[in-house]
Amino acid sequence: MMDVDDLILITLSASEDGKIEGRTRLQKLAFFVSEIMGIDAGYEPHIYGPYSSALRNIVEAQVSRGIISEQRVPWSSSGFSGHDLDKVRYDYELKPQGKLALDERLQADPQGFARAQELVQKVNSTGADYRVLSWAAKLYWILAEERGRPVPLPRAQERAHELGWPISHQQAQQGIALLRELELVRVVSTPAQPGRS
């Protein structure tokens, strides 16, 4: 059975050139991979959406063992708040030792790896940045709480607010669009109510 160590290696390996820019992007890509592969990575609600402290700890361990590299990159971004910030981004890359470790483990679930690789490649092909990934992950978390029951968008936004994840209508639409493109959700139109247009 694959674990969180494998999850990180799989997510990096499936990314272009074995690289991922930013901790938030790594967390959210790994979240979606863990969902489709059934890997319990201990994700919990956090400021920027589902977050796994176990994944963060294992990333640090893999960096110290030379399995992946972590590089600090000066970065200017408008961030989640819309304010320009000068900050540091942490980029990750799968090193040759990590590729060898992954090759051995992939024997256990080649089909699962193929699904994970396809998902990560689909995300990358959409051009979605870390913010859109975060909005999509938040909405997916909320939908998963409902266990397949339909969730109207206003209710999803209300639940997001309860979790400390205020999501505007436009942000929710972008997150849903990504989830649809990844074939992780199905959107059902509701009939217009009498007297409304």
Cα separation, 143 vs 185, whole angstroms: 9
Question: In this structure, is residue 104 part of a structural domain?
Answer: yes
- pLDDT single digits (tens) 31-58: 999 998 888 999 999 988 999 999 999 9
pLDDT, tens only, 110-166: 887 888 888 888 888 998 999 999 999 999 999 999 887 888 989 999 999 999 999
Does 159 or 80 have the greater pLDDT score? Answer: 159
Please state, for a pLDDT cut of 90, what percent of the chain lies above it: 56
Residue 15 lies in a domain: yes
Q: Residue 193: inside a domain, yes or no?
A: no
pLDDT in tens, 9-38: 999 998 888 899 999 999 999 999 999 888
Higher pLDDT pick, 146 / 170? 170
The pLDDT assigned to 110 comes to: 84
Residue 28 lies in a domain: yes
Residue 75's H or E segment, with its range, is strand 68-77
**Of 184, 141, 133, which Cα lies nearest the Cα of 160?**
141
Q: Please state the domain count of the chain.
A: 1
Q: Which domain holds residue 151?
A: 4-181
